[in-house]
Amino acid sequence: DEMSSDDDSEDDNVRVDDVMVSSSEDELEESANGAGHFDTTEREMTRERRLAEGLSLSCSMSEAPDDEVRALVRKVSARLEEVDGAKEAELERDAERADMRDAEDLDEDGLAIAAAREKALMGDRSNCAGETSKIGGWDYGVEEAQEALRAFMEQINTRSNAANSYAHVGAVHVANAKGMTDAIMDTVDAGRPMCCAVGAGRRVAVGTDGGFIFLQRETKDKDTEVSCLRTANNFAGLSVTPSVTSLCFSERGEWLLAGYDDGGLALWDIKRNPTILKTIVGAHRTPVVALSMLPVLNASGAVDAISSEEGGLVIHHTFSPLGMGVIRVKSTSLGERTFVIAAQAMPRAHYTSAAEINAHENGIISPTWGETPSTFDAAKHVADGAGIVALCTMNAVLIMRLHPRAEVIAKIVRPPNTDMKVLPVMCWSPRNVDDIVVEEDVENCNLVVVWGSSVYVLAVKVEATRALQKMNSEHDKRSGNASQVLKSWSFDSNISVGAVAVAWLTQGVICVLSDRQKLHVCTPEGVNIEQMSLNEPPSSREITRTSHGQEVGSERLQCWNSTVTMHGVYLAILSPSRLRLGKLLGWRERVHAKKNANDWVGAFETLLQARDQKVAVWPILPKKFNDSELTKKKTLEILIELVPKFLIQSLSARAPQVDNPVHQDAISRVVLGLFLAFDALELLYSPTIFGVFLHSKCESAFLERIVPHVMSDKLRALPVEVMQALVDHYAALGDADVIEKCVLHMDVESLDLNQVARLCKQHGMYSAFAHVFTRVLNDFTTPMETMFNASLTPVFGDKTRVRQLLLFMLESMRGKPFPTGQGELSKDLVARVHMEIMKFLFAPVALDSLVNTTHDMDRRVCIAWHAAMQLASNSKILNLPPARLLYLLLAEPKASSTVLMEAIKDWDASESEILNLEEASSERMGSQIIAEAAVFAAKACGEADLPTSRSSLLIFTASIVGAGRAAVAQSVEEDLLEALVCASTVNDKVDREEAMVSILGRRIDEGTMPQNALNVLKLASEAHFVQAEAVIQMAHGDHISAIRAFAADRHYYTAATHYADVLLGKAEPGMLRAQQSNAGPAVGRAQPLDPKDIESFRKKLLEDMPAILHISAEVCARIAVAHFPEAQPEVLRALSPEPMLQFQYLRQVLEAAHESSESKYSPYDMTLTDLVCATNHLVTSEMNELYFRLMCQFEPQGVLRFLLSNAAHELDSEKCLSYCQEFHVNDAVAHLLEHSGRFEESLSIYLQNYSTTIRAMAQLFAPSGAQWAKTASTDSLMKGFTIEANDALNVAVSLCRRVAGQAERGDEMWWSCLDSIIRSLDELSGGAYARVRAVLHEHLEDALRVMLGRVDNAQILEMLVSRHGNRDISELRKLLSRVFSNCSLEREFLKAEGSSVAEEAEKKAEEDSKIRRRGRRGTQRVLK
C-alpha cells in the first residue's frame, strides 16, 4: 500500500464505465513517452518482430488489446460492486431491524414473554440442576454428602490448626483394660506380664512372671470382675512359684490351661470359683511357649490340647472328665525337635443365634459372635471331626490333624527372599455353618499366614474321616500339598516392616499388628480398610534359634507369641505396662464412638456407608440375615437422633467462628446433604431439628439451602412455620420470585391455603395464587379478578399483569393447568372455565371506574385509554364495549386477539347466556361483541396515533368478519379493508393480507363485491398485497392477471404454479391443499376450469409467457414444463423477441434437467427438477445449443464452467468454439482449442489474458495517461487484478505441464510463459510500478521453479542470454541465482534423506539376516 503513486492519494476510486486506456489518437500521442502506453504502429511492429524470431506464443503487456483491458476492468469492478452492494444491503437490513426494534409502538409477543416468565418460574430440570449444583446437583447421594462433610472437616481443621482434632475411632476399637491393668499393678510380687488369652464370654486372662494369673470375667449384671489365681509350687519341691509363660481357654471358656517356665501345666476350672482340675509335671523340661485347646468333639467332653516347649518338644494331651471333678490325661509326643513357637486350633463351626441377629439389626456386633457351637455333623463339619491345629515354627507353618491319627496334612514353608530372622504369624478364619461348603468329602478352610510384610491367604483341604479311612484301607497315598494360596499381597515397607501378630476377626476383616506399632485392618482380598497407631508395643520374649553346620552357634529372636491373642471379635494386646482390649465395632457402635470423640464427620460418614451397606467390614453375618430396608430404617433413626446434637454443638455460642457465614453455610450443606442422601428431606423440618436452625445465626443459610431442593421437586411440602420463615427471609431480600417458585413446586394440598393466599397477594405472586386456587378449589374466577385488579393498581396498564392474565385465560381454555402445564383439565371443567372467562370479560363494569387519577400509568395504555374515553363520550353508540374487554384490547392488542380468537374458535353464545340474564335482553353473540369492541379499540388507537396496535386490532377484526362470525356495516368493512392496506407496519404484512383476503372472499361468496373494488384493487397492488389483488382478479375471471400477480408473490412462492395446476386440473382444489403447498389463502379459493375453456386458457397462457418470465423465470419455467412439455419450440418462439428472456427460461429448464431427483411425492408436489426428470423428451439438442449461444452472449463468465460440466458433453465442439470466438469468451476458446489438440493457440490466448491483466494493473499506477473518473478503491482493484493474473498464469503453466511433452515445440511453450513475464518486467520501469514489478517477480520465480527439472537449466540460461543479452538483466540474474540455489539445497536435502533411508534399510536387512541364521542353527541342533 505504501508503494501507491501520489496521483492515487488524492482520489483512490476508479469508475467502471470509463475506459481505462486512452482511446483517442491525441491522448496516445501525448502519452507515448509514458511507461506502459504504446501506440498501434509500435505494437504492430513489435508483434511482427516477435513472429520473425519464432516467438509467436508469448505476449507482452504492451501487446494487450485495449478492448480486452476495458472488459477486464469492467469484470473486476463489477465483482467489487457486487460485494460492496451485498455489504450495503446487509447494513440497510441491520438498520431496518434496528429501527423496528427501536420503534416506540412495536407490538411485542406478550403471550410469549409471559410464557417465558412462567417457564422461568417453574424451571426445567437442567435449570434446577444448575441451581442445585452448589450442593451436589440432582442426584444428591452418599458421595455428595461425604463431600460436604469433608469440606466441613477442612474448616474445622483450619480453625483448630490441627490435622486431627479428635481421637481416632475405626473398625477396631482398642482401649486400655483399666480394671485388669490396675489389678496387676496393685498386686505385690505380681511381676511383669508375660502372656494373655481371650476366651468365650469376654473372659481375659493374663499371666505374670511372678506366677500370678489375673482373670477378668463378666458378672450377672454385665459388669466385670478380676480374680487373681496362683498355683502352689508342687512341681519340683521349690519354694518359688514358676512364671506363667502361656495361657489358653477351652472352646466354651470354662477351662483355662496354663503353661509355666519349668515345663509344668495346670488346668483350671473357671466356670464358677476358679479351682485347679489337673496338674501335669514332667511332660516338658523347658518353658512352655505355646498352648492350644481344640473344640469338644463328642458328648464325652474330652478336650484335645497341644503344648510346645522352648526345647522343641510338642505334646498332644487329651483331657477326659470322669466326673466328680476328676480329669484323666493322656499325653502323646508329636515330635521332639519341632520347635513350635505358636499353636492355634481351628475354630469350631458355629451358627447364627437370635442374639447375634438382633445385635446385627441394631448395628452392633454381638460380644458372643462366633461362640454358639453348632451340633456336630460328621458329614457337614468335616474339619471339626478331624481336629485341625496349625503349628507355627521358625521356618514353616504345619497343618496337623489329630483324628483319626495325628499327621501333618500341609506344610507352608518360608517364602523365598525372606529374611531368616522373620518369624511367621498365622490365624484361622472364622467358620459359619451357612458358609461351609463340602465337596466330595473335602472342606476348604482358610488360613492367613504373614511373613514380615507379606500376607498369604491360603485354603487348606481337610478330608472327612471316613474318606481318610477308606483311603488307608486301599493303601492309597495322598499326593501333593493340601494347601493352596488364594491371595497374597504385601504391605508398604514404609508403613510396616514385620508382622507381630495377625487376627482374623470376621470373614471380612483381618488385623495385622506390625512391629512399628501399627494395627492394619484390611480385607482378605488385600483391600486396606484403615490403620491405627498403638502407643506401646506388645511384650516380647527371646527364642533361641540353633544353627547347624561348620560353625555351630545360636541366636536370640524376638517373639510376641501369647501376648497378642484373639477370640471371636475380640483382640487382646499385652504390653509391659498395660493390657489393651480391642473389639470389632458395628456401624452403630462406630457412629457413637466417633460422636463421643467429637468426630462428627466420621460419625456421619459411617452412617452414610451403613445406610448403603458400604461399611468396610459389612457384613459380619451370612447375607441371608441382611435386611437392607431395616438397615435404612435403623440408620435414619440414628440420624434423627444425632443431627440435633450436632447442631446444638456446632451452633452454640461457644463454637469457634459461629458468626462466620462460611461456617454456617457448611453446616447447612452437611445437614441438608445427609437428609437428601437418606431421601428423608421432610424429616428435616421436625421441631427438634428446624427449631435449632430457626433460633440460631444459621437460619439464613439454612433457608437459602431449602430453595434448590424445592425447585428440584425433592421437597414437596413445608410446615407453616417453615413457610413463614422462608417468606419473611426472601421478602426482606426483595426477592419474591423465589417464594413463588417454591409454591409452584410444592404439593398445594399440603399448604395452608389462607396463609398462601395472603402471602401471594401481599408479595405479588399471582401465578402461585392461580395455581393454588385452581388446583385446590377449582376456582378460576378469583385469580382472574385478582390479576385484573393488580394490572390497574398500583400501575394502570401494568403489562406484566395483563400478559399474565391473558396467558392464564389461554392455557385454561386449552385445558392446561396454569402455570405448570403438567397434566390436562377435564373436558367438563374446560367448558365451565370457558364460560367463566367470557362472563368475566363481558361483566358490566363502568368505563370510568377502572381509572384512578392517583395511579401510576403506562404511557401507551394511558394514551389509548384516554382516547377511548374521549371517543365514548363523543360517540352515539348505544352499546359501548365491555370495560374489561376494551381494557385488555388496548393494553395488549396482539395477545388479547390471540386469546379471544381461541375463545370463539369452536364456541359462541349470546350475551344473555353468558351473563345468566333472566330475560333475553340482548341476543348479540359473543363474537359480535368482541368484533365491535375490537373496532372501537382500533379507532381509539388511531386517535392515539398507535399504528401497530391499530393494525393488530384491524387484523383481528377482519379475521372474525371474514370467517362470518360477526358482521359490521358496509362502510365500516370498506374502511377496514382500506385500513388493512394502508397500515404502515411491516412485521404483520402477511397477517393483514390474509385478513383482507378473508373479507374479500366472503363478500365474493355473498355476491356483494365492495363498491370501491377498483380502488381496493389499486391499493392492494400498490401495497403488494398479491393474494388480495389476485382474489379480485379471480372474481372477475381474469386468470392470466391472477397468475401474473401470484408470480410476484415472494412469501407464497408456489402460488402461481399451484393456481395454474388447479385451473388445469392437475392439482386438488381447496384451502387445505393450498396450505400444504404454501400457495396462500387466495389460491385455496380456486376451482378447476370448465373443460371447454381449458384450451383457450392454455393458448392465452402460452402467449403471456414473456410477461410471466419478466416477473419470475422460475414460475415461467415451472408452468411451461408442467403444462407445455411437448411445446417447447412454441414457448421459445413466444420468448424470441427478447433473447435475454429466452436465456433465463432455458437456464431454469436445463439446470433442472441436469439435477438428480429422488422425489417420491405425487406429481402435484413435483419441483421443477422433478418435472423435467419426469419428462424424458423435454430437452432437445437445439435447446442446448441455443442455451450455450445465449450464455456466451449474456453470461460469458459462466461458459467455461458450463463446458467443464456434464451438461456440455452433447454439444458440438466446433459450434461451441465459433460461438465463443463470436462473443470473445477467451477462456472458453482456449479450453476448446486445447481439447481439440491446438495447444499452442490455446497457450497464446492464456498468455494474452495474462498480459491484459498486467497492463490493467500497470495502468493503475501510470504517472500519465488517461484521466479516470474515480469510484473504486485502487487497493481493491489491485487485489482483483492480482487474483486474475495469478489465475491466468496458473492456467498457462498447468497447460504446459500437461501437454509440453506431446507438443512439437514443448520447450518453446515453456519459454513463452517465461518470456511473457520478462518482457512485461522490461516494459515497466520506475518506482511508480514497484507493486506491479513485485507481482511479476513472484510470478517469474514460480514459473522458474516449475520449469526446473522439466527444461534443462543450461538451456534456460542460453535462451535468456541469446534473447535478452542486449538488456540489463542484473535483477533477473539475482533471481535466477536465488532460485537455482534454493533448488540445489532442496535436491541435496532429498539426496541426504534418501541416503539415510537407504542406510536404515540396509541395517534392517542385516539384522533380519542374522536372525534367520540363528534360527537355522537352532533348527539344526534340534534335528541332531
**DSSP bridge pairs for 438:** 443
pLDDT at 1168 over 50: yes
pLDDT at 1162 over 60: no
CA 1348 to mean position of chain CA atoms: 56
What cell does 1125 get? 412439455
Give the Cα separation of 888 and 859 in Å (integer): 15
pLDDT at 547 over 60: no
For residues 380-403, average pLDDT: 90
Highest mean pLDDT among 374-388, 758-772, 1207-1221: 758-772
Percentage of residues in the chain with pLDDT exceeding 70? 77
Least confident stretch, 936-940, 974-978, 1232-1236: 974-978
Secondary structure letter of residue 260 according to DSSP:
E
Cell 388496548, located at residue: 890
User: What are phi and psi for residue 763, nearest 5 degrees?
Assistant: -110, 15
- Please, is 522 exposed, middle or buried when counting C-beta atoms within 10 Å of its C-beta (0-12, 13-18, 19+)? buried
Highest mean pLDDT among 467-476, 787-796, 1137-1146: 787-796
What cell does 1246 get? 492464456
Least confident stretch, 136-140, 475-479, 809-813: 136-140
Predicted confidence band of residue 495 (pLDDT cuts 50, 70, 90)? low
What cell does 1055 get? 402460488
Least confident stretch, 572-576, 727-731, 1236-1240, 1373-1377: 1373-1377
Three-state DSSP class for residue 168:
coil
User: Do the strands 499-506 and 541-547 form a parallel or antiparallel pair, or are they unpaired?
Assistant: unpaired
What cell does 52 get? 520473425
pLDDT at 748 over 60: yes
Q: One-letter amino acid identity for 54?
A: G
Predicted confidence band of residue 1143 (pLDDT cuts 50, 70, 90)? confident
Q: Which comes out higher in pLDDT, residue 308 or 65?
A: 308
Give the Cα separation of 1094 and 1117 in Å (integer): 20
Least confident stretch, 444-448, 480-484, 542-546, 1060-1064: 542-546
| pLDDT (tens digit per residue) in 19-41 | 233 333 333 333 333 333 334 44
| pLDDT (tens digit per residue) in 332-359 | 999 888 889 999 999 988 888 888 888 8
Give the pLDDT confidence score for residue 517 in this predicted structure.
82
Highest mean pLDDT among 586-600, 868-882, 1217-1231, 1257-1271: 586-600
| pLDDT (tens digit per residue) in 56-92 | 566 666 677 777 777 777 777 777 776 766 666 666 6
Give the pLDDT confidence score for residue 468 in this predicted structure.
67
Give the pLDDT confidence score for residue 376 in this predicted structure.
65
Residues in the chain: 1424
Give the CA distances from residue 742 to residues 723, 728, 748, 820, in Å, rounded to whole numbers and listed in that order.
10, 14, 11, 12
Give the pLDDT confidence score for residue 249 in this predicted structure.
95
Give the pLDDT confidence score for residue 183 in this predicted structure.
92
Predicted confidence band of residue 280 (pLDDT cuts 50, 70, 90)? very high
Question: Which residue in 787, 785, 780, 783 sits closest to 833, CA to CA?
Answer: 780
Predicted confidence band of residue 268 (pLDDT cuts 50, 70, 90)? very high
Give the pLDDT confidence score for residue 1380 in this predicted structure.
58
Give helix 1330-1347 / helix 1239-1259 axis angle, nearest 10°: 160
Give the Cα separation of 452 and 319 in Å (integer): 36
Q: How many CB atoms lie within 10 A of CB 376?
A: 16
Cell 487485489, located at residue: 1279
Asked if residues 524 and 446 have their Cβ atoms less than 8 Å apart, the reply is yes
Question: Which residue in 927, 955, 925 sits closest to 941, CA to CA?
Answer: 955
| pLDDT (tens digit per residue) in 210-237 | 999 999 998 888 788 999 998 765 444 5
Give the CA distances from residue 802 to residues 451, 683, 861, 1342, in Å, rounded to whole numbers and listed in that order.
84, 40, 11, 73
What cell does 436 get? 461351609
What cell does 1365 get? 543479452
Give the CA distances from residue 1035 to residues 719, 945, 1001, 1014, 1031, in Å, rounded to whole numbers and listed in that order.
71, 35, 9, 12, 6
**DSSP bridge pairs for 216:** 204, 226
Give the CA distances from residue 656 to residues 594, 1015, 1017, in Å, rounded to whole numbers and listed in that order.
20, 88, 86
**DSSP bridge pairs for 259:** 246, 265
Asked if residues 491 and 518 have their Cβ atoms less than 8 Å apart, the reply is no
Give the Cα separation of 756 and 762 in Å (integer): 10
| pLDDT (tens digit per residue) in 986-1021 | 777 787 788 888 878 877 877 777 666 777 777 777
For residues 410-439, average pLDDT: 89
For residues 1107-1116, average pLDDT: 82
Give the CA distances from residue 868 to residues 110, 797, 854, 935, 936, in Å, rounded to whole numbers and listed in that order.
22, 14, 19, 11, 8
DSSP state string for 509-536 = EEEEEETTSEEEEE-TT--EEEEEE-SS
Predicted confidence band of residue 1411 (pLDDT cuts 50, 70, 90)? low
pLDDT at 480 over 60: no
For residues 590-602, average pLDDT: 86
Give the pLDDT confidence score for residue 92 in this predicted structure.
64
Q: What is the CA radius of gyration of the chain?
A: 53
Which residues lie below 8 Å from residue 833, measured CB to CB, with a gap of 6+?
Answer: 780, 812, 813, 825
Give the Cα separation of 79 and 56 in Å (integer): 33
Predicted confidence band of residue 612 (pLDDT cuts 50, 70, 90)? confident
Asked if residues 740 and 732 have their Cβ atoms less than 8 Å apart, the reply is no
pLDDT at 155 over 80: no
Give the Cα separation of 836 and 838 in Å (integer): 6
| pLDDT (tens digit per residue) in 1252-1269 | 888 888 888 776 544 443
**DSSP bridge pairs for 212:** 230
For residues 1209-1215, average pLDDT: 81
Cell 483355662, located at residue: 256
User: What are phi and psi for residue 277, nearest 5 degrees?
Assistant: -90, -35
pLDDT at 927 over 60: yes
Question: Which residue in 744, 708, 710, 741 sits closest to 133, CA to CA?
Answer: 708
Percentage of residues in the chain with pLDDT exceeding 90? 16
For residues 258-269, average pLDDT: 94
Q: For the whole model, what pTM was predicted?
A: 0.55
For residues 456-471, average pLDDT: 80
Asked if residues 504 and 510 have their Cβ atoms less than 8 Å apart, the reply is yes
Q: Which comes out higher in pLDDT, residue 511 or 231?
A: 511
Least confident stretch, 414-428, 504-518, 676-690, 1085-1099: 676-690
Give the Cα separation of 544 and 1184 in Å (integer): 115
What cell does 1297 get? 505441464
Predicted confidence band of residue 43 (pLDDT cuts 50, 70, 90)? very low
Least confident stretch, 166-180, 460-474, 883-897, 1259-1273: 1259-1273
pLDDT at 824 over 60: yes
CA diameter of the chain: 156
pLDDT at 807 over 90: yes
Q: One-letter amino acid identity for 621?
A: L
Give the pLDDT confidence score for residue 1365 in this predicted structure.
54
Highest mean pLDDT among 733-742, 761-770, 1050-1059, 1319-1328: 761-770
Highest mean pLDDT among 122-136, 214-228, 624-638, 1348-1362: 214-228
Give the CA distances from residue 358 to residues 361, 363, 366, 626, 956, in Å, rounded to whole numbers and listed in that order.
5, 9, 9, 11, 77
Give the Cα separation of 399 and 482 in Å (integer): 9
| pLDDT (tens digit per residue) in 81-120 | 767 666 666 666 666 555 444 444 445 678 888 888 888 8
Least confident stretch, 238-242, 250-254, 572-576, 890-894: 238-242
Q: Which comes out higher in pLDDT, residue 810 or 28?
A: 810
Give the Cα separation of 180 and 187 in Å (integer): 11
What cell does 1043 get? 397468475
Predicted confidence band of residue 1397 (pLDDT cuts 50, 70, 90)? low
Give the Cα separation of 1043 and 1045 in Å (integer): 5
Predicted confidence band of residue 922 (pLDDT cuts 50, 70, 90)? low
Give helix 827-842 / helix 799-813 axis angle, nearest 10°: 140
**DSSP bridge pairs for 411:** 398
Least confident stretch, 191-205, 232-246, 767-781: 232-246
User: Do the strands 856-857 and 795-796 form a parallel or antiparallel pair, or are they unpaired?
Assistant: parallel
- The dihedral built from the CA positions of residue 997, 1001, 1004 and 1006, taken in this order, carries a sign that is negative
Task: Enumerate helices (H) and strands (E) in the chain, giving the number of each.
Answer: 53, 33
Mean of per-residue pLDDT scores for the chain: 77
Asked if residues 1140 and 1109 have their Cβ atoms less than 8 Å apart, the reply is no
What cell does 1107 get? 410477461
Give the Cα separation of 410 and 442 in Å (integer): 14
Give the pLDDT confidence score for residue 1393 in this predicted structure.
47
Cell 522373620, located at residue: 422
Give the pLDDT confidence score for residue 329 in this predicted structure.
94
Question: Which residue in 925, 948, 929 sits closest to 938, CA to CA?
Answer: 948
Asked if residues 149 and 643 have their Cβ atoms less than 8 Å apart, the reply is no
Cα dihedral 264, 267, 268, 271 in deg (nearest 10): 160
What cell does 819 get? 402455570
For residues 430-451, average pLDDT: 89
Give the pLDDT confidence score for residue 1164 in this predicted structure.
44
Question: Which residue in 255, 394, 249 sits closest to 321, CA to CA?
Answer: 255
Side-chain half-sphere exposure of 313, counting CA atoms within 13 A: 15
